[in-house]
Amino acid sequence: MDLKVYQTSPFIVEKIWGGSQLGKFLGLTNKIIGETWHASTLIEGPSFETRKQKTLDHFLQLPYLLKLIDTSDHLSIQVHPDDDYAKKNNLGSGKSECWLILEAQKGAGIYLGFQENVSKEDFFRDVKASKDISPYLNFFAVKSGDFFYVPAGTIHAIGKDVLLLEVQQSSGVTYRVWDWNRTDDNGQPRELHIEQALKITNFDLQFNRNLAALKQENLFSSESEAKCFLLVEHANFKATLLTISAQNSSFDLAFLVNKSTRPITFFLIKGSAEVVFSKGKVVLPFKINKWDCLVSAEEDVKIYLNAFEETSILIVS
């Protein structure tokens, strides 16, 4: 019996704002890589199954996407539609997402939600005039171990000098509101989507206040005990961060995964470990290191994590 467990290699996305870390890790130092999609079945960017030599969408479909993002410049200020808008406009699903900060240089941060008393009329007047709209947004300085939830309809941008792990709904729909008056490789302004953004951007005061309340911090701090944090639970994905020390070298993941009806992704953030899948007489071990990714579509399987050192792993189910 061949268990439905897949080890992936990422779909690579070059971006003008990309940093150097992803290219260095992949041995592609001549490329400016902004994103690597490690668990994706999107038709425009599926991950690759390394053992079976096919794209991941040959074996399963994921309602979520897991990626790394590395920045040397600000991303555009943008917004994503919710499920209702996406359905009405034949866009598939909406796009809520979340960010776990892995590294950030001093002073780096993210833009998330509107400041108090921002009106739709004032904001889009300045958007159409190509003015700097970042002062309308809340800026959060970030550090390793911070977590942010970005529901659909949220105005946002990732700032420069940040490396983060993103989990999102499986959608490629992004409406670019403003791009710092940046031009592309041909000297042309990058495309904006102002009319679409007008329809979906959420200006509600309480909605924008709540974004700060959903922030979590210091998620990588660990002692001798294993630590488990539920980061977010969305209709399309549940993200849990587990940090386990060498003293807790073996950990049964059953309590995290047994109730899931979706494929489960395991992404090793730091450390080294073995993930063992066991079903009947079949035992399938995977030794994984930094930024390795496993996706399991197997039901009624026992899963154990054996850590060789202090290890942090994100589990998306």
Per-residue pLDDT tens digits for 41-60: 999 999 999 988 899 999 99
For residue 171, pLDDT over 60 is answered with yes
Instruction: Give the C-alpha separation, 155 to 110, whole Å.
Output: 11
Q: Which helix (H) or strand (E) holds 120?
A: helix 120-128
Residue with tokens 């949220």: 154
User: Which among 274, 272, 242, 235 has a CA at the least distance from the CA of 257?
Assistant: 242
The answer, as to whether pTM is greater than 0.85, is yes
79-132 pLDDT tens trace = 999 999 999 999 999 999 999 999 999 999 999 999 999 999 999 999 999 999
Confidence of residue 266 (pLDDT cuts 50, 70, 90): very high
Spell out the SS3 assignment of 83-98: HHHHHHCCCCCCCCEE
Residues 6+ apart with CB under 8 A from 205: 116
Average pLDDT over residues 255-284: 90
Within a 10 A sphere around the Cβ of 292, how many other Cβ atoms?
A: 20
Tell me which amino acid residue 256 is.
L
User: Which among 315, 165, 167 has a CA at the least distance from the CA of 253?
Assistant: 315
Confidence of residue 223 (pLDDT cuts 50, 70, 90): low
Instruction: Give the C-alpha separation, 68 to 49, whole Å.
Output: 17
Distances (CA, A) of 82 to 37, 72, 204, 223, 277: 21, 29, 15, 39, 35
Dihedral angle sign, alpha carbons of residues 111, 114, 119, 120:
positive
Instruction: Give the C-alpha separation, 203 to 223, whole Å.
Output: 41
Cα 77-80-81 angle, rounded to 5 deg: 150
Confidence of residue 183 (pLDDT cuts 50, 70, 90): confident
Nearest-Å Rg of the Cα atoms of the chain is: 20
- Active-site entry in 51, 125, 176, 262: 176
Structural domains of the chain in order of their starting residue, each with its CATH number: 5-213 (2.60.120.10), 227-316 (2.60.120.10)
Would you call 254 helix, strand, or coil by DSSP? helix
User: Which among 104, 78, 237 has a CA at the least distance from the CA of 164?
Assistant: 104
Examine the residue annotation and report whether 176 is marked as an active-site residue of this protein.
Answer: yes
Residues 6+ apart with CB under 8 A from 93: 63, 83, 86, 169, 170, 171, 236
Average pLDDT over residues 13-22: 96
For residue 1, pLDDT over 80 is answered with no
Tell me which amino acid residue 216 is.
Q
Whether the CB-CB separation of 12 and 44 falls below 8 Å is answered with no
Average pLDDT over residues 35-43: 98
End-to-end CA distance of the chain: 23
Whether the CB-CB separation of 155 and 201 falls below 8 Å is answered with yes
Q: What is the pLDDT of residue 258?
A: 66
Q: What is the pLDDT of residue 222?
A: 63
Instruction: Give the C-alpha separation, 13 to 178, whole Å.
Output: 21
Whether the CB-CB separation of 123 and 132 falls below 8 Å is answered with no
Within a 10 A sphere around the Cβ of 190, how many other Cβ atoms?
A: 14
Confidence of residue 144 (pLDDT cuts 50, 70, 90): very high
